[in-house]
Structure 1
Amino acid sequence: MTEKKKKTLAQSMGITRTVIRDPEESDIQLREDRIGRYFKKYLNKFVFDEFSPKFMEQSKAGDLMKGVPIPLRKKDLKAFAGGEGLPMLVIAENMTWVMGCDPHFKHTKDYVAILSKLYNYKLYEGMMKEGRDAAERGAMDDACIHFRAALCMKPDYLHAMYSYARACRAMYLNSRNEEYVGRFKAEALDYFELLTETHPRFAQGFYYLGYAYLNMGLYIKADLTWREFLRFSRNGKDKKEIRTRLQQLQGPVQIERGYNDVMSGRYEEGKARLEPFLNSQFNSWWPLYYYLGVAYEMTGNKSQAVASFKKVLTMNASHLETMKELVAIYEQEGDRENRRKYEKKMELIRKTQEEDQKAFKKEIEEEDKRLQEQEPENQEPEFIEDVKEESEEGSGRKRKIRRLDKK
């Protein structure tokens, strides 16, 4: 008789959704840095020097300090060079800024090693707390930099992962620049996903990830994600809100499944799912008519397909994919006049879009350059609530988190 395999803690609690990403995707020191371009301007505030032999001899991290450049602000230079010296916590804060601005900096690993030996977990908790304090002032660059530094110290640190994703979310919601919004939105989404994969019992990760999917029109993913939230959350108010959202999602989820049927070649199933919604509150959704048009076309009902595609164009007059479908149908039917009609429309729309895109691209690039070079004004405060330890795996303890400037 084979020995029964012992279950992990997660498995014993019914948690089977465990994902382990490669470090190149999960470690902020290794993964692509989508948003670092907006923080590197702060590195201009630092100059670099080295620890003195005497200082290294007296420090318990002295063996790690040799040859490592130390970041100093201009105001620190006199104290660092003078007899009174510079408190190590000031140097630690400077290292925090450098790591947070550029996790790929070649000495980030050295800073992590030094700070870990001197302060252990207390320092990255302090970084996170500094970040949250900055977020409450609306100083979101400051907040983001501290969260990123904490993630350099501990890539799977729940508090920093959640706070960083929340900060990125707040920052893209506050911007109108397409490039900036795209980068911060992608980073927020990726970190909410990574958070739920790394800490699958932490309910708030699923709460915000569900909204991210909803805003992208990914209704099935939003539905599944919010069901996980309900499974783990103890917040009655939030659970009531999400139950209402799930009720509202029932129709969109079925419509998206219909879209998926059509895209997968299950045209009859797609029609069966989608046709009931023609007489519903969702009959103003142009994609409903587009996918039904494709299903009709592929099942031989060309007249209904044409009617559906023309309906799309009354709602979204520049939808090129719909025009391509109409051109294909008219070409098959030998209707040269209508085929040329839509080909000309497509040519005109493409030309207009290219011109608009060119002009808009220049404007976006100029604004994005300004965002990279200038420090932003404070935005609306972002209050990131404390994470209860009871929501974390294998921990029932509560521990007070201190700022960097507190011993």
Structure 2
Amino acid sequence: MKYKIEKYLLKKTDELAFITLKADGDFKIKGYDIPAEGLDVPIKNEVLVKGIKDKTAQESLNSMSIADAMIYIMGIDSTFKYNEEYDKFIEALAKGLDLDLKAYMGYMSNKYFEIGEYTDSLIYMKSLVNKYPEDVNGLYHYAIICQQIAEQYKKDEDAKAVNDFLLDALDKLERVINIDPNFGLAYYQLGYHYYNQDQYIKSKLTWEEALKLDLDDDIVAEIQDNLGKMDYKVQYEEGYTLVLSGKCEEGLEKLLPLEDEFPDWWNLLFMIALGYKGMADIENAQKYFEKILVLRPTQVDTLVEMGLLEAQKYNLEGAIEYFEKAAKLRKEDPEILCNLGMAYFNNGNMDDAAYYIERAYELDPMDEVTNACLRELNKYR
């Protein structure tokens, strides 16, 4: 099973020490043979520090403490070199103690979760889902812990970590419903994931599926409230999906009615403009792009689109003006620089054309459009 968050857990290995068990030593586990070359086994630093006074208790506690640390490091690093050997060790110990390993891992995860030690909680749950990859409850709770840790990283403004933990949570929730299509809480959580990724249609369908399943009344009410509030976002997504797929007229039928209620929603205005552009209605396309620039004068994509429309109208001075504004705002963007270079080229200014097209080529020598522009330029040099 793959994890996006493992790199954030590796620092927890600092909380472990390693001791070597020898094959001919006194340490024995019924049903398990220590490899002839010995085995390096982990133990938590806190266990070593505490020490154990009673010798009889020591033997029992050490066995369990080692097994616990093995579970811990297997949860930290799913590729640790001794994981397979550790699994044999804990299986034999569990059999000898009549210990339910799944229950133990779940108990330890819940214990740490309740006191707010979410990383330790996740480590035990990760060990559980590694060992029992079809356990839907384990996968679900793994996702919940990931979401909780993501909230912590959000407070630290670490967007990369937030994204990694949420994507891992999403992956495990999707695994849950693939294994058990009737796991209502997984659909409930997934609806929020898709919503937060602006996948409103998918979010709506997921929540509608959740309502068919057994959920508490308060969750049902929450989902119904969410569905009511997101109708316009679903309509927006339907509209821009149609526009981007070339069905511009159908897309505008979805998008235009939203403008009255959301006249300052620049994303909506942008997609309406693209819809008109796709229908070759340059006048209306420009009108909507201009509305955006009133709201957001430095919206780069809009400046580029205005430049392209001006070039389409053969107003090359106007195109150059928009492309230059865009290039100042988004420096070293090869696409913008290439557009600017071609505007100069078509306006007869070969020196500036060469400067910008060659710079675009330096930034992205593999781009087909830039290469085509460079070849065209070279014909006149």
TM-score by length of 1: 0.72
Partners of 1:150 and 1:66 in 2: CA distance: 29
How many positions carry a matched residue from both structures?
A: 322
CA contact (8 A) 2:129 2:135 kept: yes
Distance change in 2, residues 1:73/1:132 (3 Å): closer
Residue 76 of structure 2 corresponds to: 101
Letter in 2 for 1:37: K
Letter in 1 for 2:316: R
CA contact (8 A) 2:273 2:286 kept: yes
Partners of 2:279 and 2:169 in 1: CA distance: 41
Residue 205 of structure 2 corresponds to: 224
Residue 12 of structure 1 corresponds to: none
**What RMSD over aligned residues (CA atoms) do the two structures have, in Å?**
2.7
Within 5 A, what are the aligned runs for 1:260-275?
260-275=241-256
Distance change in 2, residues 1:317/1:131 (3 Å): farther
Structure 2 residue corresponding to 1:47, chosen from 9, 13, 18: 18
Partners of 1:68 and 1:157 in 2: CA distance: 30
C-alpha displacement at 1:36, in angstroms? 1.7
Residue 167 of structure 2 corresponds to: 186
Residue 336 of structure 2 corresponds to: none
C-alpha displacement at 1:181, in angstroms? 1.5
Distance change in 2, residues 1:57/1:100 (3 Å): closer
Residue 367 of structure 1 corresponds to: none
Partners of 1:337 and 1:128 in 2: CA distance: 68
Residue 390 of structure 1 corresponds to: none
Structure 2 residue corresponding to 1:145, chosen from 109, 123, 134: 123
Within 5 A, what are the aligned runs for 1:154-165?
154-165=132-143
1:36 equivalenced with 2:11 (yes/no) = no
Distance change in 2, residues 1:150/1:341 (3 Å): same
C-alpha displacement at 1:179, in angstroms? 2.2
C-alpha displacement at 1:93, in angstroms? 1.0
C-alpha displacement at 1:316, in angstroms? 4.0
Partners of 2:92 and 2:181 in 1: CA distance: 30
1:70 equivalenced with 2:44 (yes/no) = no
Q: Which has the higher contact order (CA 8 A, sep 6+)?
A: 1
Partners of 2:216 and 2:37 in 1: CA distance: 50
Residue 310 of structure 1 corresponds to: 290
Distance change in 2, residues 1:184/1:325 (3 Å): same
CA contact (8 A) 1:151 1:161 kept: yes
Give CA-to-partner distance per residue, 1:219-264, whole Å, 9 cap, x none. Answer: 0010011112111133111001101111222221111011110111
Distance change in 2, residues 1:228/1:115 (3 Å): farther
Give CA-to-partner distance per residue, 1:136-182, whole Å, 9 cap, x none. Answer: 21111111111111112112222221111111111112221122212
Structure 2 residue corresponding to 1:323, chosen from 296, 303, 316: 303
C-alpha displacement at 1:62, in angstroms? 3.2
SS at match of 1:71: strand
C-alpha displacement at 1:54, in angstroms? 5.8
1:195 equivalenced with 2:173 (yes/no) = no
Residue 258 of structure 1 corresponds to: 239
Residue 92 of structure 1 corresponds to: 67
Letter in 1 for 2:291: K
CA contact (8 A) 1:36 1:102 kept: yes
Partners of 2:35 and 2:190 in 1: CA distance: 40
More helix by share: 2
Give CA-to-partner distance per residue, 1:21-71, whole Å, 9 cap, x none. Answer: xxxxxx2xxx2x322222212212321422544667651233789844311
CA contact (8 A) 2:184 2:213 kept: yes
Partners of 2:174 and 2:117 in 1: CA distance: 25
CA contact (8 A) 2:20 2:38 kept: no
Considering only CA atoms, is the larger Rg found in Structure 1 or Structure 2? 2
Distance change in 2, residues 1:58/1:257 (3 Å): closer
CA contact (8 A) 1:226 1:242 kept: yes
Distance change in 2, residues 1:48/1:285 (3 Å): farther
CA contact (8 A) 1:125 1:150 kept: no
Partners of 2:296 and 2:184 in 1: CA distance: 38
Give CA-to-partner distance per residue, 1:203-223, whole Å, 9 cap, x none. Answer: 111111101111111100100
CA contact (8 A) 1:42 1:101 kept: yes
- Percentage identity across paired residues of the two chains: 25
